Amino acid sequence: MKSIQIHKHKINSIERKHPWIFSGAIKSDVTELLDGDVVSVFDNKNNFLARGHFQHATISVRVLTFDDVELNQEFFNNKIANAVELRKKLNLIRKDSNICRLVHGEGDSLPGLIIDFYNGVAVIQCHSIGMYNSVELIGESLKNALKKELKAVYSKSSDTLPQRAEGKDGYLFGECETPHNALEHGVKLQIDWINGQKTGFFIDQRENRFLLGKYSKGKKVLNTFCYSGGFSLLALQEGASLVHSLDSSKKAIALTDANVELNQFEQKHKSIVADAMDYMKNLEEDYDIIVLDPPAFAKHRDKRHKAIQGYKRLNAHAIRQIKPGGILFTFSCSQVVDKFLFTNTVIAAAIEAGRNVRILEQLHQPADHPINVFHPEGEYLKGLVLQVD
């Protein structure tokens, strides 16, 4: 097995079980190592520290274990069985709701791996070459863990791997037509993991969508950046009087319309193709609730300042326009914008808009997107429920 050695002053984070090893921490010559190699990590006295997947990148090693064990079928069987068991304990796979994340990277001690579950179909997305090289082992582990509950396994990593890697998408087990119907809190959703964004749906807002439903009875709701209409559908199911779904993508609006029709909610729904930032400047309706769930405005620290300005403008428009007593659900999924910075940005937006705002609830990612305590960077989704006087 290939190995690397760490500079003696760089081992503290590994000893604290952080799952990333950066290129600057490596003492060894790595020119002969290949992307995806399994490497053992040692300190300068040749004491074993960890084992993981190597890649020629800033994050050079993603650690899968701090124990001296092989990364074989048994290893993946145990890890994925543990992750699946947690989701079952959380009652996330049931008759009225069968969409959840089965594996959440570092949160399940499998950095570089995402697995989402849609009514019997597991969709694998690899973010490292090493994990992609292990995809057959992962597929077998899913079969072992889910047994008869598993209809198919689809591997979708061509868009998430480095360009130098030749990732191919396709079924590892079984087959299933798309779009595929699944349920979230009783709402029917059409999921297309082949043509849709990410693995086909944004599961991380599941509980926040359910919460929106509780606020929505008899209310007029505007759902911006709607993608396939998840927030809109829960609002309609729980008795919203009117829901408008807005997205700049005609393809996203087509997905939303299909889901609205599937649930027979057409009479109380309208779709709008528009840029959210522009549309929010002068709203035509007097909305009781506005949802702001934009894509990540910043994926790297050097874009953070620009992202903060974007969040501030967007929230200021919404706070300015919403009716007195209205409720604003506002989110950020930018990992480089932490919850304190996001809250302060929303406060700045409220000051700019000149209205009194109260924080009713603070929101985050659900339990099937767990955060490894040794990897605080895993906390990426943050949100606020605000009342605007």
Residue among 49, 102, 41 at smallest CA distance from 76: 102
- Collapsing DSSP to helix, strand or coil, 3 comes out as strand
Query: pLDDT tens digits for 352-370?
Result: 999 999 999 999 999 999 9
pLDDT at site 1? 84
pLDDT at site 165? 85
pTM here is 0.95
pLDDT at site 268? 97
Distance between CA atoms of 187 and 242, rounded to whole angstroms?
Answer: 17
| Token pair listed for 64 | 């899968």
pLDDT at site 112? 97
pLDDT at site 301? 77
pLDDT at site 305? 86
pLDDT at site 364? 96
Largest CA distance in the chain: 71
Q: Look at residue 299 and tell me whether its pLDDT is greater than 80.
A: no
pLDDT at site 164? 82
Query: pLDDT tens digits for 71-95?
Result: 999 999 999 999 999 999 999 999 9
Distance between CA atoms of 337 and 147, rounded to whole angstroms?
Answer: 40
Q: Look at residue 385 and tell me whether its pLDDT is greater than 90.
A: yes
Q: Look at residue 22 and tell me whether its pLDDT is greater than 90.
A: yes
Quickly tell me which residue has 């543990």 as its tokens: 82
pLDDT at site 224? 98
Q: Which alpha helices (H) appear in the chain, and where do they start and end?
A: 12-15, 73-89, 129-133, 135-146, 206-215, 230-237, 250-262, 276-279, 304-321, 339-353
Query: pLDDT tens digits for 220-268?
Result: 999 999 999 999 999 999 999 999 999 999 999 999 999 999 999 999 9
State mean pLDDT over 281-300: 90
Of the listed ranges 115-124, 291-300, 373-382, the least confidently predicted one is 291-300
Grade residue 217 by pLDDT with cuts at 50, 70 and 90: very high
Residue 296 or residue 157, greater confidence: 157
Beta carbons within 10 angstroms of residue 371's beta carbon: 16
**β strands within the chain, DSSP E:** 2-5, 20-22, 38-42, 48-54, 59-65, 99-104, 113-118, 121-126, 152-155, 170-173, 180-184, 187-191, 220-224, 242-247, 269-273, 289-292, 326-332, 357-364, 382-388
pLDDT at site 7? 96
pLDDT at site 97? 97
Q: Which domains does the chain have, with CATH numbers?
A: 2-65 (2.30.130.10), 73-184 (3.30.750.80), 202-388 (3.40.50.150)
pLDDT at site 303? 79
Beta carbons within 10 angstroms of residue 5's beta carbon: 18
Residue-averaged pLDDT of the chain: 96
Query: pLDDT tens digits for 128-154?
Result: 999 999 999 999 999 999 999 999 999
> What is the β-pairing status of strands 170-173 and 152-155?
antiparallel
Query: pLDDT tens digits for 170-212?
Result: 999 999 999 999 999 999 999 999 999 999 999 999 999 999 9
The per-residue b/e assignment along 260-289, b for 16 or more CB within 10 angstroms, e otherwise, is beebebeebbebbeeebeebbeebeeebbb
